Amino acid sequence: MSTLALTINRRIVDLRPEPRTSLADVVRDHLDLTGTHLGCEHGVCGACTVLIDGVPARSCITFAAACDGASVTTIEGLDDDEIATELRAAFTREHALQCGYCTPGMLVSARDLVLRLPEADEQAIRIGMSGNLCRCTGYVGIVRAVMSVIAARRARGIQPVVGGGRTTLGPAGSGHGTAKDDLEVASTFAAASVTASLATAAIADFTPAATIEQAFEVQHAPANVAALFADVAAVAACLPGVALTNAADSNRIEGEIRVQVGPIAAQFAGVARIERADDGLSGRIIGAGNDRRSRSSTQGEIRYRLKPLDAGRATRVDLTIGYTLTGLLAQVGRSGLVRNLARRLVDQFAANLERKLSGETVGPAQAAQHLNGLALLLGLIRARLPRWLGGTSRH
């Protein structure tokens, strides 16, 4: 099997699917992006519509191998898209969905119409949406929703994009085809460049799906805490389950973190970039990683600020943790459990940080321990049990 390099929702992935595998099966079965629905599997119903190089296409009848080098956007990749956000609100307002099975494909196709139609022409919209079938709504609400978004955007002076971003003729994604004689050279180049490209793309800014705010105190001056935060290896040693693989550049690091949620164990490998204020009292760490075993991906951002306490003899560390989790772990890891995991992680980090600042050695039991979701959950239950029992006894 040959290597397939795709950019899926602004994240570069390196896959080895069977040559006969459809793009729909790749995004659903290999990447767990199940927002792309399969209906007829003959390219008729439109439920599987995705964007390939910005152009709507049927993923069920598109061979994944034909999209090598292309950029693919599924419905999950449109979470923060301006047009898709307006369309979702309009679909809700106009009662344009019932069972919702066709809705992902509808939104992808509707987005293309909003992008390129000069005006809210009902007939043009009906023709443009004719490749997306719905057995529930009768289409009236769908058409009204698309018309309302087009009309509102044009009224705000947002002009249509001629051709909707189409730059080449031929099937969507075909602009990345390679001449037969060049396949071996291109394959070698792709294999060499995927890792470098991932490192660049994976640390781009993003909008977190969830955010947690937490704070802790250490009995050391802010300057001492800031100096330790500038030592990437020292900070990593305080984080359970974290191991650095490349820290030659103090502003950009590579590493991995082990996580276990119930029976599922994951080892995320990724990259992060580090930003610090000149005084060292605030900064940001933003990164992304993938786990091949569970086919899960995560993006995370930690913002910190150090505040003096007790006349500068102690420090309060304010943290804002943002994250986005996709794949199998996102399906089994409820948001409440993830938040509790994050809070317990911060508690362990704070304890290890205090030890480090006090000159104590952070041993393997503290530094190398992976994040065991079940153990942390049991710890949480033990911590809250007296309060729960106390609340029960009062009734």
Instruction: Give the homologous superfamily in CATH for domain 82-164.
Output: [2Fe-2S]-binding domain (1.10.150.120)
What does the alpha-carbon distance between residue 152 and residue 161 come to, in Å, rounded to a whole number?
16
| Residue ranges of domains in the chain | 4-78+168-201, 82-164, 210-393
pLDDT at 187: 35
Using alpha carbons, select from 91, 138, 139 the residue that is nearest to residue 114.
91
Digits of tens for pLDDT over the chain (395 positions)? 567 888 999 888 888 888 889 999 999 999 999 999 999 999 999 999 999 988 899 999 999 988 888 889 999 999 999 999 999 999 999 999 999 999 999 999 999 999 999 999 999 999 999 999 999 999 999 999 999 999 999 999 999 987 776 665 555 665 554 433 333 333 333 333 333 333 444 466 777 777 888 899 999 999 999 998 888 888 888 887 788 888 777 778 888 887 765 555 677 788 888 889 988 899 998 888 877 666 677 778 889 999 999 999 999 999 988 877 776 666 555 556 666 767 777 888 888 888 888 888 765 544 444 445 445 445 545 555 555 555 544 44
What does the alpha-carbon distance between residue 280 and residue 273 come to, in Å, rounded to a whole number?
15
pLDDT at 134: 94
Burial class (CB in 10 A: 0-12, 13-18, 19+), 315: buried
pLDDT at 15: 87
Domain 4-78+168-201, CATH 3.10.20.30 — does that match?
yes
pLDDT at 163: 75
pLDDT at 363: 56
pLDDT at 207: 77
| Class of domain 210-393 as given by CATH | alpha beta
Using alpha carbons, select from 331, 268, 287 the residue that is nearest to residue 33.
331
